[in-house]
């Protein structure tokens, strides 16, 4: 399939490379020239604008920071809508507010353009190895047409409902991830403060009910003090902001989410907004005045 890909950041760059590896023709566009050049070197073609991409492809994928960027790229000047013809599919794989997904989809539908909201989970490592989890909102027939494309980037692809449902599901995912990282952080800091090696605690509990994908991914990085971003705290703040806003709109209190949001805000104030969300542990370390580390060899 001939695919346009807009947004070549931490996630979008490896995702687009996996489309190339799967044999798709990919045309890319991004404000960062170095990222574009890297994709061109991998076999992609380049377009000057989202409008130019939309004029050439069957499917446009967007992977952008938040709702305003998606609205600008899709509906703004030189955007996808200006270059699109009826029958084009727009798959927004960004994590944005569900109501914005529905608003953008309604505007596109007026011109006969279909849309899926298809945010992903798994962070940079799973984007690189093509094992992301994709949660999709939209029509069944449009989902079926795009499924092989999603499968080139993901290990799990699930249609969860109509347009907007993908981003509601992603918000639920981000709540679980944030609270899980906080719980792992709190538990390992407790163990350290009580004089028990946190690495041994991790090994002891990971196979039981407390074990999780989040624990397996983040506990070793905490122990190794590796907080370079796989998923930045600033981006998780964005997602939790969308979760809390959506919760207020539908009347679903999220007290635990609000608590973790405040911890992330405190870390941002401390200058850690661009660190990986595993750096949540540093808040608990600061409170307990200790630091996690691996067992001495």
Looking at the chain, the domain(s) classified CATH 1.10.1040.10 span 168-288
pLDDT of residue 53: 98
Looking at the chain, the domain(s) classified CATH 3.40.50.720 span 2-162
| Count of C-beta atoms within a 10 Å radius of residue 82 | 16
Helix residue ranges, H only, the chain: 12-21, 33-41, 50-54, 67-75, 80-83, 98-109, 123-129, 140-151, 165-193, 198-205, 213-223, 233-250, 255-269, 280-288
The second-level CATH assignment, the architecture, of 2-162 is 3-Layer(aba) Sandwich (3.40)
pLDDT of residue 198: 97
pLDDT of residue 297: 64
Distances (CA, A) of 243 to 29, 93, 176, 247, 291: 29, 17, 11, 6, 31
pLDDT of residue 73: 98
- pTM value surpassing 0.95: no
User: φ, ψ for residue 85 (rounded to 5)?
Assistant: -115, 160
The second-level CATH assignment, the architecture, of 168-288 is Orthogonal Bundle (1.10)
Q: Are 131 and 154 in contact (CB under 8 A)?
A: yes
pLDDT of residue 229: 85
CA distance 229 to 207: 26
Q: Which of 294, 279, 177 is nearest to 228 (CA)?
A: 279
Q: Are 264 and 237 in contact (CB under 8 A)?
A: yes
Query: Which residues does the annotation mark as catalytic?
Result: 170
pLDDT of residue 296: 81
Q: What is the DSSP letter of 206?
A: T
Mean pLDDT by 10 residues, the chain (297 residues): 96 97 97 96 97 97 96 98 97 96 98 97 92 98 98 98 97 97 98 97 98 96 93 94 95 98 98 97 98 86
pLDDT of residue 295: 83
User: HSE on the CB side for 79, CA within 13 Å?
Assistant: 16
pLDDT of residue 230: 81
The two tokens of residue 187 are 């538990």
């Amino acid at each position: 399939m001939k695919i346009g890909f807009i947004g070549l950041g931490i996630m979008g760059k490896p995702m687009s490379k996996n489309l190339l590896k799967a044999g798709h023709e990919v045309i890319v566009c991004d404000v960062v020239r170095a990222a574009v050049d890297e994709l061109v070197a991998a076999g992609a073609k380049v377009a000057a604008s989202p409008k130019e991409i939309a004029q050439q492809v069957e499917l446009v994928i967007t992977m952008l920071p938040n709702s305003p960027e998606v609205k600008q790229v899709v509906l703004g000047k030189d955007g996808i809508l200006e270059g699109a013809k009826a029958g084009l599919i727009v798959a927004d794989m960004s994590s944005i507010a569900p109501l914005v997904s529905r608003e953008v989809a309604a505007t596109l539908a007026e011109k006969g353009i279909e849309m899926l909201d298809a945010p992903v989970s798994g962070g940079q490592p799973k984007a690189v190895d093509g094992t992301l989890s994709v949660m999709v909102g939209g029509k069944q027939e449009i989902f079926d047409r795009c499924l092989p494309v999603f499968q080139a980037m993901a290990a799990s692809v699930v249609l969860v409902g109509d347009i907007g449902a993908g981003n509601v599901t992603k918000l639920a995912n981000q709540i679980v991830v944030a609270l899980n990282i906080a719980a792992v952080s709190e538990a390992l800091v407790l163990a350290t403060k009580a004089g028990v090696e946190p690495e041994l605690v991790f090994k002891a509990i990971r196979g039981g009910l407390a074990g999780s994908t989040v624990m397996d991914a983040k506990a070793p990085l905490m122990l190794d003090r590796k907080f370079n971003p796989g998923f930045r705290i600033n981006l998780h703040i964005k997602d939790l902001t969308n979760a809390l806003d959506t919760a207020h709109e539908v009347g679903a209190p999220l007290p635990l989410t609000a608590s973790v949001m405040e911890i992330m805000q405190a870390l941002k104030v401390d200058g850690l907004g661009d660190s990986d969300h595993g750096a949540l542990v540093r808040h608990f370390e600061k409170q307990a005045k200790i630091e996690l580390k691996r067992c001495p060899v």
